[in-house]
Structure 1
Amino acid sequence: MAARRDTREPMPGRYTVTFGEIELLQDLDRPGGWVLSKDGVPQSYVDLDDPTYLDFEYVRLMAVVIDALPPGALDVVHVGGGACTLPRYLAATRPGSRHIVVEPDEGLVRLVREQLRLKSVPRLKVRVLDGRSAVGGLHDDSADLFVLDAFSGAVMPVELATVEFMTGVSRVVRDGGTLLINVADGKGLPFTRRVLATVRRVFPHAVLLAEPGIMRGRRFGNLIVAASTRELPLETLTRQAAGGLNQARCTYGEALTNFIAGAAPIHEGQPVLAPVPPSTIFGN
């Protein structure tokens, strides 16, 4: 069944959601472009006229990984909903893909449905749950792609970066499927190293993608972890990451092992703090 066509125009402004307030801003350079922002931190960007347009650098890197996967429709789990940028992208680039979007903020889901034409995205289901609860209720071997892009404000919930959570994810991801994680980190990248150590406990193959300055730990920013039970398309990822707008680096193999450099995996109950971006990074 075709998705319902919704042509209502979004209304910019501030909206109360379950966990605070969201500001909906229009991109003055792109008539169909809209940004969801919370506490001055941009959370999501969508172009309602062109879902293949990806504004955020880290989302473009996620798309590099997605585009390198074998062709065809995918069964995808997204933990962290926002404005559902990647489900829209996949609906356009891989028609027939099915999506389960996990988002704990019911008010945010309602806002995106009402203002950003969420009903127009085919084969998408939203579950208003936290990530751990949602993963526990998913079927074994049900996802080709698992996207973890969950933040509370600008901070990744540590409970979604543990060995226990990744073990649950591995139950859901099919053999040869792919895990994608958006990690935010700063000087020295200590949190990213621990996240990679955690992922490698469960998924034997992994790569790290980021803009060179962020990869070197010189400035705070987003890094993308991709992992699988099977070898990832390393040459394609390296070439496409370097050739895009980001001119990003792809680290894997021995270089990735050296990058992790003995960092300890994260387990539930450990007092680990996810990094908080400096207040100046978003122009505040």
Structure 2
Amino acid sequence: MGRERRAPRKRSADEGFEADAGSEAAARGGGAPGGPRSRRTATGLAELVPDRDHPRAWSLLLDGAPQSHVDLADPTRLGFEYQRRLGHLVDLAAEPGKPIQVLHLGGGALTLARYTAATRPRSRQQVAEIDTGLTEWVRAELPLPTGWQIKVRGADARAVLERTPEGSVDLVIADIFAGARVPAHCATVEFAALAARALAPGGRYAANVTDGGALAFARAEVATLLAVFPEVALVADPAVLRGKRFGNLILAAGQDPLPLAELGRRVATDAALGRLEHGAALAAFTGGAGPLTDATAVPSPAPPPGTFTGAGR
């Protein structure tokens, strides 16, 4: 899961980290050779754990929770289920290979930004990641290729969204976590309205949230998006939707019809089981839950103990 960590800011929100390959890791061949490594940033313990099956692939864990997976040899390979589903939405944001403008809210290891740059060359991307120490470490250990137009801003995701010009981006991806929870101020009607304002005509909003059990947070978040966008869809593991396990739910929204048929086909071909909900079924999924607002929202629930035992290792 992607995360936003609340930390003392080391840079102005208007400063950024431009994509380049000039780090020490890039000079020695790129990509954190050897075994696991870790660094404590301002907001927790970050760990890079090697993928046993892919020699240049790594999982990033933050305080033990799996955040993202990066394959330096093939940035189009998305190792985590929720990232593959977000990748489908990147693929369907425009004609194949066409450059797009993307705002990523939550950065981590920049997995989706790397994927977009590899599949849609010349795309312009901005990433909001509040933990500048994490960004610096990830860029040193997992360097970005020269020429990718990715700017990372060390700022709160909502603050960056508030400053995003109206109608300026084709895709907003919200993968925002404080610890292992979606922060309340990034899950409200007011936040969704800011995302809708930032989107160009035909643009789409995508979000990763986590929940389990009765799915009270997920149901309210669907109601929240339905209060702002006329078109909303959800993709999740059927076991998560039945409350059998804690997990990720991917939401997609827009002002125009979503590519539901193609999204459904892609979800059906994934290795992990997934179910697509939309229309009347999705409205019923809310179970009467009301939209979240800045005045009433609470963070998403914490994962149950043991959820991430052995994750990414």
Corresponding residue SS for 2:253: strand
Structure number with the bigger relative contact order (C-alpha 8 A, sep ≥ 6) is 2
In the alignment, which residue of structure 1 is the partner of 2:53?
29
- Identity percentage of aligned residues: 42
Alignment of 1:134 with 2:160, yes or no, is: yes
> Any conservation in 2 of the 1:210–1:224 contact (CA below 8 Å)?
yes
| 1: CA distance, partners of 2:232 / 2:155 | 28
Deviations 1:14-55 (A, max 9, x none): 212121221121112110111111221111110011001111
Deviations 1:113-132 (A, max 9, x none): 11110354600001100011
Matched residue pairs, number?
A: 283
Correspondences of 1:38-77 after superposition (within 5 Å): 38-71=62-95, 72-77=98-103
In the alignment, which residue of structure 2 is the partner of 1:108?
134
| 2: CA distance, partners of 1:132 / 1:69 | 22
In the alignment, which residue of structure 2 is the partner of 1:10?
32
| 2: CA distance, partners of 1:220 / 1:125 | 33
Aligned in 2, Cα 1:16/1:175: closer, same or farther, shift over 3 Å? same
| 1: CA distance, partners of 2:210 / 2:168 | 28
| 2: CA distance, partners of 1:44 / 1:226 | 20
Amino acid corresponding to residue 97 of structure 1 in structure 2: S
Alignment of 1:152 with 2:178, yes or no, is: yes
| 2: CA distance, partners of 1:140 / 1:191 | 28
Mean Cα deviation higher: 95-104 or 239-248: 239-248
In the alignment, which residue of structure 2 is the partner of 1:267?
293
Amino acid corresponding to residue 92 of structure 2 in structure 1: A
| 1: CA distance, partners of 2:158 / 2:256 | 24
| 2: CA distance, partners of 1:232 / 1:66 | 13
Amino acid corresponding to residue 127 of structure 2 in structure 1: V
How far did residue 90 of structure 1 move? 0.9
Q: 2:243 aligns with which of 214, 217, 220?
A: 217
Corresponding residue SS for 1:125: strand
5+ long unaligned stretches in structure 2? 1-18
Corresponding residue SS for 2:276: strand
How far did residue 3 of structure 1 move? 5.3
Alignment of 1:192 with 2:214, yes or no, is: no
Deviations 1:161-189 (A, max 9, x none): 01111111111111210101001000121
Corresponding residue SS for 1:118: coil
| 1: CA distance, partners of 2:157 / 2:288 | 28
How far did residue 91 of structure 1 move? 1.0
Alignment of 1:232 with 2:258, yes or no, is: yes
TM-score (norm 2): 0.86
CA RMSD in angstroms, aligned pairs only: 1.6
Q: 1:243 aligns with which of 259, 265, 269?
A: 269
| 1: CA distance, partners of 2:92 / 2:297 | 36
How far did residue 242 of structure 1 move? 1.4
> Any conservation in 2 of the 1:99–1:124 contact (CA below 8 Å)?
yes
Mean Cα deviation higher: 101-110 or 261-270: 261-270
Corresponding residue SS for 1:198: helix
In the alignment, which residue of structure 1 is the partner of 2:4?
none
How far did residue 280 of structure 1 move? 1.2
| 1: CA distance, partners of 2:100 / 2:240 | 30
| 2: CA distance, partners of 1:81 / 1:197 | 26
> Any conservation in 2 of the 1:208–1:224 contact (CA below 8 Å)?
yes
Amino acid corresponding to residue 32 of structure 2 in structure 1: P
| 2: CA distance, partners of 1:278 / 1:93 | 36
Corresponding residue SS for 2:116: helix
Alignment of 1:83 with 2:109, yes or no, is: yes
Amino acid corresponding to residue 305 of structure 2 in structure 1: S
How far did residue 154 of structure 1 move? 1.2
Amino acid corresponding to residue 85 of structure 1 in structure 2: T
